[in-house]
Amino acid sequence: MQMENNGVNINDSKTLAEKIVSVLLEKDGLDVKMNYVKDTSSVTDYYVNVTGRSSTNVMALADEVVYQVGLLGREPDHTEGRDGRAWVLVDYTDVVLNVFDKQSREFYNFDRLLPEESLVDISHIIAEVDAKFDINKN
């Protein structure tokens, strides 16, 4: 497994979670949330949750993350839910990505299960993506 690519240490859980968030924002994922749960969870360090616009978009978001992170030398440990297309889980062990369609995100309401204080400020990633695509500039 490659430790670094283009100066990015993809084996650092925070760096991996931020890369996933960046990919999701670049692909217009809705309501992207990143939660740091290492201190309260024995499962993972970070959860990243996003809503897709349709079942096709759910798959596209999950596939794009796997592709982009794969380019950096990291593959998911496993993926679940590809057949249903309503909720796809991509598990990197230290970072778990949940890609929901709108109905599944509302029904499972996974975000409410995570402590509010675990929510990570991703405004710097949003600003980087906006700058990359020249968004919100006059």
Q: Say which CATH number the domain at 79 has.
A: 3.30.460.10
| Helices of type H across 12-122 | 13-26, 55-71, 102-108
| Domains in the chain, number | 1
Global confidence as pTM: 0.90
Measured distance CA(70)–CA(63) in Å, rounded: 10
Determine, yes or no, domain membership for 10. yes
Determine, yes or no, domain membership for 81. yes
Tokens 């700058």, residue located: 131
pLDDT tens digits along 51-96: 999 999 999 999 999 999 999 999 999 999 978 879 999 999 999 9
- Closest Cα partner for 98 from 54, 27, 46, 137? 46
Determine, yes or no, domain membership for 98. yes
Determine, yes or no, domain membership for 136. no
- Closest Cα partner for 23 from 57, 59, 56, 69? 69
Banded model confidence at residue 1, pLDDT cuts 50, 70, 90: very low
H or E element, residue 129: helix 123-132
Determine, yes or no, domain membership for 134. no
- Residue 34 main-chain phi, psi, to 5 deg: -130, 125
Determine, yes or no, domain membership for 27. yes
Q: What is the pLDDT of residue 137?
A: 57
CB 18 within 8 A of CB 126: no
pLDDT tens digits along 104-137: 999 999 999 998 999 999 999 999 998 888 765 5
Expressed as residue numbers, the domain containing 74 is 4-115
Determine, yes or no, domain membership for 59. yes
Indicate the residue type of 132.
Answer: K
pLDDT tens digits along 21-61: 999 999 999 999 999 999 888 889 999 999 999 999 999 99
Determine, yes or no, domain membership for 137. no
